[in-house]
Amino acid sequence: MLQPVIAPSDRADGVGGAVGRTMAVLRALISLGPGEHPLASVAESADLPAATAHRYLK
């Protein structure tokens, strides 16, 4: 698996901003591994409400 040389700043859009939430969802998907996962699992892993995780998965 490729590793980023420099991780993007989660603060690029402010603390808890859209960039931070996007990165949280992407990290959750990576940590859960390949395949399909229930929305609740992605949301819990991203530490976001299910509705927010759903918005970023669309």
At 14-38, the pLDDT tens digits run: 456 899 999 999 999 999 999 999 9
Residue range 32-46, pLDDT digits in tens: 999 999 999 999 999
User: What's the CA gap between 42 and 26, in Å, rounded?
Assistant: 9
50 is a domain residue = yes
4 is a domain residue = no
Three-state SS at 12: coil
44 is a domain residue = yes
12 is a domain residue = no
Q: Is the pLDDT of residue 4 over 70?
A: no
Domain hosting 38: range is 18-57
Q: Show the tokens assigned to 33.
A: 């591994």
Question: For residue 12, what pLDDT is reported?
Answer: 46
User: What's the CA gap between 26 and 44, in Å, rounded?
Assistant: 13
Q: Is the pLDDT of residue 2 over 50?
A: yes
6 is a domain residue = no
pLDDT-derived band at 52, boundaries 50, 70, 90: very high
46 is a domain residue = yes
Overall domain count for the chain = 1
User: What's the CA gap between 30 and 16, in Å, rounded?
Assistant: 20
43 is a domain residue = yes
- Note the pTM of the prediction, 2 decimals: 0.70
11 is a domain residue = no
CA distances from 15 to 3, 6, 29, 52, 54 (A): 24, 19, 21, 16, 20
